[in-house]
Structures are given as structure tokens and as C-alpha cells.
Structure 1
Amino acid sequence: MNPYLEIVIRSIGAFALMMMITRTLGKATIAQMTYHDFVAAITLGGITANFAFNLKVNVWHLLVALVTFSGVAFILLVFVLKSRTFRRWISGQPAVLVQDGKILEHNMKKLRMTLDSLNQELREKNIFNIEEVEYAVLELNGKVSALLKKEYLPVTRKDLGLKGHKQEFPTELIMDGNVVEDNLKYGDVSLAWLMSQLEKRRLSIEEVSYAVKGTNGQFYCDLYQDGVSDPIDEV
């Protein structure tokens, strides 16, 4: 077989295998990426890369290695879900960085985390003054969670004694100029209601790039022709 054609076939096969493995391990694994997830991802990535273009290695040997590591990662995931002790050992546990408004330098030193990194994580949460923080915790996925001191917490409707209306999950009705039929079925929205909203705005489905029924029940749509005279096209 032509080596270039073989590389193409093996690359497509490697991509398909990784898609199946990823779906088997689940979305939570991808989002959280704990210690064993990180190790599994690197190892599986290396094996898959060799499967795609390393023509000197036997395909079946690579498949066995790929299936073995995938099985190990899946078994670890099962144990992690069933045992809290095992979960703490294999995935680690959250670490407190700020307690009662005081930075725990000892914990940060053990984690090899600098004050610059802590401040960056806080700024990403729109916290620019560390004195506003009551508690800060380094989570298993490497992100920092922060609890503000009482005087810096935002005021809620409950604090003001106001009752809020029940909110709904947003329902996407049109995407890329096409009606999302499944959302009409499961989102308790009729096609007649959608068409009535478009008629009020003198629009057709083909003119709409995106339309959604928001959490407050209001209809929002974005057109292909935005009417912006000087759009910013830098990416």
C-alpha cells in the first residue's frame, strides 16, 4: 500500500478511535481533567499519534496498547465514582489557599503556586483586590474558586425582599437559518408561536441566523444582515 494512503487511513482510524474512547470516558472527565485523566490523556494521545503515522510499529500492537490504556482509564473512573477514599488518592483533593482572609503560604508552597498565579485566577473572576476574599480553594481541575467577604458580596433579590419570576431553560429555535425541530418538540414551543414572533418582526426563517426563547420567555433573534455599517472583522 502507498505509505501516504496508509497514513491517511490510519489517521482517520485513530481519530475515530479517540472519539469513541472520549465518549466512553464521558464529558465530566474532559471538563475536570484530574491527575489520572491528565496522565490518561497524554498516554492515549501518544499512542494514537503513533497509530496514525508510525508505519514501523505494528498496527495490532498499537491497538492492544490503546485498548489496554482505555480500559485502565475507564476502570479507574469507575473506582473513583464508587470510593471516596480511592477518589482522594487517585484524583487528589481541593486545597485551601485563602482562609478567613489570610493567604496560606504553606499550602501554596506545597502546591508550587505563586501569588502571581493566585492573583491571575482571581482576576479572571473579576476579583482585583485579594483583601475582598474570605476563602479561596484550588479545585481538582486546577481552577480557583473564591468566596467573597460578606461586605463585598453582591446584593440579591432575596436580600431586598423581592420575589422573582420562575425562569425557563433557554430554547434555541433557529440556528444557521434552520428551525431546530427537536427543540420545538421538547421545549414546549409550537411552530405557530415561532412563526408569529417572526411575523411581528416581518422576518422569514431564511433571514434569521439565530433565534432563541430566553429564560424570561422573551424571543430574541439575530439576522444575517446585521445592518452594522462598520463591522470589526479582526480575529
Structure 2
Amino acid sequence: MNEYIYTFFRTIAAFAMLLIIARILGKQMLSNMTFHDFVTGITLGSMAANLAFNVKIQSAHFFISLAVITAISFGISVLSLQSRKARKWITSSPTILIEGGKILEQNMKKIKCSLDALNQSLREKDIFDIEEVEYAVMEDNGKLSVLKKPQYRNVTLEDLHRSAKSTKNFPIELIMDGQLIKENLTQHEVSQRWLETELDKRKKRIDDVFYAVKSTSGKLILDFYDDGLKRPIDQEN
């Protein structure tokens, strides 16, 4: 009977530890299962299961292991926030599978994605004809994001006032975490002087920008570290 009671309390402890660890690691782990999140989740789940049922191993050893794994995962998350290069290596980066309506076979080979898998993902988005697709991107979490060609998109109020000849291009990230992404500037022939001029108009520098992207319509979208909000909303407080 004592063994059953012991297992009962170990199971409760394992469940409680997972809840605490999930809170420490944050919502990112729940929303986007990247490589790092996948490995962390599998490891923690396996360790928690052993804590609950494997009475031959001391509980203290499990708690130490859980603490170490949590610290490593938390450290990696912090490093990913501070360094774009580290984030790119840890979580990989999105892969374009369709550009301008054309399938990029080499990119599909890189991520080992078959045509059957691509077509299935498109059908899940109610796209049964690949001709409708302008861009398709495989995200870090394995989900497919799709931008349809203009004639197949739902009409918005902006569309009614836009010229029928206007086109949309793939968005280009120019600044991330206050750092200029020079490879994107070079690859897409975006002038750094043009970007700096746009920032000068707003009396800002590159260091002031948290995120800058040239949108699908060619418009420069900027988000600064200082948002100028006196009382930003935080629903958890």
C-alpha cells in the first residue's frame, strides 16, 4: 500500500513540476513548437513520466535533472532573444517553397518536404489548385503559410480603392532587434541609404528600431523600442 501512496504523490509532484516549468519557459513553447521546443518538450515529458512511475530511481535525481533541463532551455530562450544569429541556428528559419507561383524544388529537398505533403498542407487551407498560390512558406514550427495571388484573395475595403494593376511582393525584413539585416538589403536590392533617409524623416536611428519590414505593398513598416504608450495593456497584471 505504501508503494501505491508513494507513486500517487510522485505523480502529483511530476504534474506540478511540469506546470511550473511551463510557466517559467513561457507561452512561446506552447504556441510555436520549434526544434528547441520539441526537444525540450520530449525530454521533460519523459523525465516527468519516470518521476511518476519509476519508483526505483530516487526523486531527488529527477528534480535535479528537471532543474538542469529547465535552466538550459531557459538560457537558450534568452540567448535566442538577444542574438538573431543564435536564434536562426537554434530554431532554424522559414523556407520558401513556392515563389511567384513556382515550386522551388531545391528548397523542398533541403527540408525533406514531398509534393504530397505540400499539397496536403495547401488543401488544409482550402487550396486545391496550386495556381492560386503566390507564395508558400514553411515556418519554423512546420506549418505552412500561404499568400494567394490577388485574383484569388478575399476582397477588402483597401482592395476596392487600390488600382487593379497594383501587385504585392514578399515582405522583406530590414531590421530586427535593432540590427540591420544586410543580406536582405543586398539580396532584394534595397538601398541602406533609402532606409536611413526614411528613419531620418522620423528622427530615428537604426538602433531605435525594434523591427522594420518592407511590406507586401512596398510600404516601410517600423516598430520602435519606444512605442510612446503611456499605459501599455498587460492583461496578466
Does TM, scored on the shorter chain, surpass 0.5?
yes
Deviation (angstroms), 1:160: 2.6
Determine what percentage of the aligned residue pairs are the same residue.
Answer: 50
Distance 1:49 1:122 in 2: 36
Distance 1:100 1:157 in 2: 25
Deviation (angstroms), 1:128: 1.3
Q: Report the AA paired with residue 39 of structure 2.
A: V
Match of 2:135 in 1: 135
Do structure 1's residue 25 and structure 2's residue 25 form an aligned pair? yes
Distance 1:138 1:7 in 2: 43
Do structure 1's residue 105 and structure 2's residue 105 form an aligned pair? yes
Do structure 1's residue 44 and structure 2's residue 39 form an aligned pair? no
Residues 45-90 of structure 1 deviation map (CA, whole Å, 9 limit, x = unaligned): 1111111110111111111001000110011001111110000011
Q: Secondary structure at the match of 2:57?
A: coil
Do structure 1's residue 69 and structure 2's residue 69 form an aligned pair? yes
Unaligned runs of 5+ in 1: 162-185, 187-235
Q: Secondary structure at the match of 2:127?
A: coil
Distance 1:158 1:77 in 2: 38
Residues 152-196 of structure 1 deviation map (CA, whole Å, 9 limit, x = unaligned): 1221122235xxxxxxxxxxxxxxxxxxxxxxxx9xxxxxxxxxx
Distance 1:27 1:128 in 2: 33
Distance 2:152 2:144 in 1: 18
Do structure 1's residue 82 and structure 2's residue 100 form an aligned pair? no
Match of 1:92 in 2: 92
Q: Report the AA paired with residue 55 of structure 1.
A: V
Q: Report the AA paired with residue 49 of structure 1.
A: A
Deviation (angstroms), 1:105: 1.1
Unaligned runs of 5+ in 2: 162-234
Distance 1:81 1:120 in 2: 33
Q: Report the AA paired with residue 4 of structure 2.
A: Y
Match of 1:195 in 2: none
Distance 1:33 1:73 in 2: 13
Structure number with greater Rg is 1
Q: Report the AA paired with residue 158 of structure 2.
A: K
Deviation (angstroms), 1:111: 1.0
Q: Secondary structure at the match of 2:125?
A: coil
Distance 2:148 2:105 in 1: 19
Deviation (angstroms), 1:149: 1.1
Q: Secondary structure at the match of 1:33?
A: coil
Aligned residues: CA RMSD: 1.3
What TM-score, normalized to structure 2? 0.66
Question: How many residue pairs align between the two structures?
Answer: 162
